């Protein structure tokens, strides 16, 4: 980090993609390393941040974003800007604006993407080029999972090895391009927030030790079903492996989210219908409430959605969205 802001750089815009967290492999660290995460990056739910030169520091949120998003996001961005200026020694005033963001506390990893988007916009604006891992450490992200960081860099289906004993960010073990034809049917329940912050930490601390035998089973599912299925484009083992991972880890976390693997009962009812009638990789991203069904094609996603409506299992309060997997990371525009 040695260069300074050039007057030729009027603005920098960063679009950061969302991720789905498909599950931890060993929350208790039976072999020494805790967590280890499987996740994937998706299109359609970007976080967009713009930084411009200004006479004084200003942080704002686009007017079309909901008020319950604007306040917390603006507070975080103000904090990030102060940290970035302090840590880099670059104090030129700037305007930082949030232009788009997915729902917070819904399973999209929006907090990490907001931090990284702010960090990358700030650093590019000033001609700096730290690694994403360095930005995450600076801004206090990536405490458990490295999937959001790797997703910001390159997209795809991602597996990390869990954070180091000294708190270093989880290393990326595998990155596989998500098959282009496959789709993800998302079910969003905007009435509910998933756990986050201190409530999340307390919930994690209250859970019993995760059995080593189950951790071994999860690793087996991922190594011998999920990853090779995605790599070869063979759907059945991939879907079965994801669903098995979700059932096992979901049962473990159920006491912290109302006794079910789903934070939203409405999402759970709809996805259990999908499980009974279709082959899909089914589960909940992180603490939810967003649920997902990974399917073979866009046509199948629409057919399943129509079937849920016809069967009366899709609560009118839910939002259903079909998205692609995304095999690229954040994009940056500079002017």
pLDDT in tens, 13-43: 999 999 999 999 999 999 999 999 999 999 9
Question: Is residue 334 within 8 Å of 11, Cβ to Cβ?
Answer: yes
Q: pLDDT, tens digit, for every residue of 294-325? A: 999 999 999 999 999 999 999 999 999 999 99
Domains of the chain: 11-177 (3.30.230.10), 183-324 (3.30.70.890)
Residue 268 gets the label, from left (phi > 0), alpha (psi -120 to 50) or beta, of alpha
Question: Is residue 34 within 8 Å of 227, Cβ to Cβ?
Answer: no
- Categorize the per-residue pLDDT at 198 as very low, low, confident or very high, splitting at 50, 70 and 90: confident
The stretch 70-81 carries a mean pLDDT of: 92
pLDDT at 274 over 80: yes
Contacts of residue 319, Cβ cutoff 8 Å, sequence gap at least 6: 186, 187, 188, 189, 190
Q: Buried b / exposed e across 104-134, counting CB within 10 Å, b at 16+?
A: bbbbbbbbbbbbbbbbbbbbbbbebebebbe
- Categorize the per-residue pLDDT at 3 as very low, low, confident or very high, splitting at 50, 70 and 90: very low
pLDDT at 134 over 50: yes
Question: Is residue 10 within 8 Å of 52, Cβ to Cβ?
Answer: yes
Q: Is the pTM of this model over 0.85?
A: yes
Contacts of residue 82, Cβ cutoff 8 Å, sequence gap at least 6: none
**Residue 254 — φ and ψ, nearest 5°?**
-55, -45
The stretch 217-234 carries a mean pLDDT of: 99
Q: Where are the alpha helices (DSSP H) in 140-226?
A: 147-154, 197-206, 212-221
pLDDT at 165 over 90: no
Nearest 5°: the CA angle 328, 223, 166 is 75
Q: In this predicted structure, what is the pLDDT of residue 5? A: 52
- Categorize the per-residue pLDDT at 143 as very low, low, confident or very high, splitting at 50, 70 and 90: confident
Q: In this predicted structure, what is the pLDDT of residue 2? A: 37
Question: Is residue 290 within 8 Å of 18, Cβ to Cβ?
Answer: no
pLDDT at 4 over 50: no
């Amino acid at each position: 980090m040695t260069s300074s802001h050039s007057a030729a750089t009027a603005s920098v815009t960063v679009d950061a993609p969302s991720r789905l967290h498909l599950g931890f492999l060993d929350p208790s660290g039976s072999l020494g390393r805790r967590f280890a995460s499987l996740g994937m990056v998706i299109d359609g739910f970007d976080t967009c941040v713009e930084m411009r030169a200004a006479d004084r520091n200003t942080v704002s949120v686009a007017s079309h974003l909901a008020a319950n998003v604007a306040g917390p996001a603006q507070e975080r961005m103000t904090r990030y800007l102060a940290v970035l200026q302090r840590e880099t020694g670059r104090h030129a005033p700037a305007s930082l604006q949030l232009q788009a963001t997915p729902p917070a506390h819904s399973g999209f990893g929006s907090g990490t993407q907001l931090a990284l988007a702010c960090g990358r916009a700030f650093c590019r604006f000033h001609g700096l080029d730290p690694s994403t891992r360095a930005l995450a450490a600076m801004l206090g992200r990536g405490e458990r999972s490295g999937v959001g960081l790797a997703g910001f860099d390159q997209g795809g289906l991602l597996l990390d090895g869990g954070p180091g004993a000294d708190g270093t960010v989880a290393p990326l073990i595998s990155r596989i391009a998500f098959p282009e034809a496959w789709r993800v049917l998302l079910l969003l329940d905007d009435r509910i927030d998933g756990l986050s912050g201190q409530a999340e930490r307390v919930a994690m601390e209250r859970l019993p030790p995760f059995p080593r035998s189950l951790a071994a089973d999860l690793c087996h599912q991922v190594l011998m079903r999920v990853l090779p299925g995605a790599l070869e484009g063979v759907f059945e083992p991939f879907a079965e492996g994801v669903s098995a991972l979700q059932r096992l880890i979901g049962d473990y976390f159920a006491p912290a989210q109302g006794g079910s693997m789903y934070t939203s009962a409405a999402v759970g009812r709809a996805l259990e219908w999908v499980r009974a009638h279709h082959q899909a990789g089914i589960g909940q991203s992180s603490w939810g409430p967003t649920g997902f069904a990974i399917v073979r094609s866009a046509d199948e996603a629409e057919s399943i959605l129509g079937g849920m409506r016809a069967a009366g299992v899709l609560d009118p309060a839910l939002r259903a969205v079909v998205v692609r997997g995304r095999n690229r990371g954040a994009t940056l525009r500079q002017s």
